[in-house]
Structure 1
Amino acid sequence: MTPLLIGCNGRGAQASSPERPVTFSEPPLSEQFAMVASAGVFDFFDRLPMEGEVETFLELSAANTLPVTTASGVYALGEGYLSALRRNMERAVKVGAKFHNMMVYNWHDEKRWVTDEEVIRAWADAWELGQEIGIEPCFELHVNMWSEDPRRVAIVAEAADKLGIPFNLTLDYSHMLFKMGDDAELDVSGIREDVAAGRVVLDPYEAGNLVDQWLDAGLVRWFQLRSVTPSGPRNLWSKHDSSNGAAGVPDDPHQRAREGQYGRAILYPFTRPDPDEWHSPWEAWRLEPCKHVARKVLKHHAETPESRLAVITTEMINLTDYGDGAKFSLIGQNAAIAQFLRDEMAALGLPQGGAND
């Protein structure tokens, strides 16, 4: 079995502290690469080079013995979609990336919601372009994106199958776990009635849950782990501000309604923060659902010869709905998650990367 590699999302490379809280302003790339490499638990860096950064990425990757195996980007459907995707894929391939994670907005460039048919076409176009350029695209399960209504994943995957192409899902289940028990968040996804009726099962402990469905269907190509808890505390140290240029935030009706509100509850510390490092009480048991999802994914991979899972990334990041303003070490939280994953993999006998050897 091929070793299962673990990487760190570039937005999580901050050595934050009470004196230097998590911020949108990121350290230089040289510090990011060194930070991720020196953690000793990451096999690669997940970051998309911007225009003019390819040579810098190559130099830093070599200097730190840290490959850039994956790269992530945000897209709006519309006239500029394919040209933006081509440019990003080409830069990603130049730095050695094998997979490109795509967060595709649910809000079209034409200022309307995207249709299932448009998402299906966007996936088919991304797959074709990736085959041409030499990189595999993956569509992520993510808030603000087409997949915030998780029922659409099966629709797009089934359509891809009819087209004779695979569908690659990036599974970040934190985007569903935090909604459990939160009617307002379930309404954003449009699934409150289906959840109440048992037609959509978010709870990973219950039979017929979405994680099991997607694993059994062979959709999961990339697994992302961010610690979160159902109906957890909002980010009381960061508010939505449309003027800050945050990545992954569309100008859609839902987001406009959040202006000035505290960040959504899509991060819960993986290890106990000191009293002054986080805004809310911390209880270890609240981590069990996200740990259960991780164990479920790894167990499926260990027991399924045809498993399509190829990479894992840790996702403790710096934006408003996540860790902005926190005073714990963001890179420390990511490293703790990576070590947890390595321990679970070792218990299952799964081969893993050498973390820079």
Structure 2
Amino acid sequence: MARRPPLVIAHRGASGYRPEHSPSAYELAFQMGCDAVEPDIVASRDGVLVVRHENEISGTTDVADRPEFADRRTSKVVDGVTLTGWFTEDFTWDELATLRCRERIPEIRPRSASFDGAQPILRLTDLLRLVADASLEYGREIGVVLEIKHATYFASIGLDLVPLILRDLRETGWDDGRWPLIVESFESTVLSRLREAGLAARYIYLLEAKGRPADLVAALGGDAPTYAATARPRGLDRLVGRVDGISVDKRMILAPDRLGHATGPAPVVADAHERGLQVYTWTCRPENRFLIGQFRGAGGPAARGDYEGEWDIIRRSGVDGVFVDHTDLGVAFFR
């Protein structure tokens, strides 16, 4: 993906316009000119990798309205958080294939919600084939930024994601560097395992603004480093040679004060670049609800604020990639 940075990455497809991770969200992102798309992956009971942001799927599918699955509703602790709903690991792929996509935030994106119930969910193999076909159709190289979700949790219930990922990438021809592949996770251990397995990809470590990574908490407890500490120079030093870059919450670049005014660009991008690490950021969205206070405007949470003002700070930071929900806006602004 040798383009002028930053890469414009369609976050869960063109999820500002269609239900996230739906086939039409990805098709629209291709049409709008994205450099890459970002699928999240979780696992089914029978070891199929499914494109969903979380393994709890009541907010993004119609599972709650399906009486045949009513008895699957349960509560679980995932990465230290108690969740109640329906979980992919309690379904076979054949069962999940009967579900239909829904808009996660219909109050913010009612037009996207008008597509509810119309589209099936995707497997990772389905998505990888869609991207390869789109690259040929549109005459440009489109990459995949593959986000691995809850690897430690899945391993704890007997679903090791690493061999499943390698299987699907091998099956679709995405394992040997033929197509531009980036692998990212909030858990560094799963990235290390894939790298050790020889997977040809770039490896990006995701960093939240707060908290600690679930894999290191499981191994080290309270001694696990925080994400914030990892984003500081000494923490970045420890990443050199282990990953190719980091992907940070945009607030770590904007550095808003208590009044919601940006004080950035913060030094995290420059600090990472000094160490040869790339930096991506998430998620650039235009609606007031998702902007820091300084850039919110009139019209309520669903209205678009001064997103270009916020995005300009991000652009000036020198980031190498941006995740956007509205692919057309991201392409227009960051190109």
TM-score, scaled relative to structure 1: 0.43
| Higher percent of residues as strand | 2
TM-score, scaled relative to structure 2: 0.45
Q: Greater relative contact order (Cα 8 A, min sep 6): structure 1 or 2? A: 1
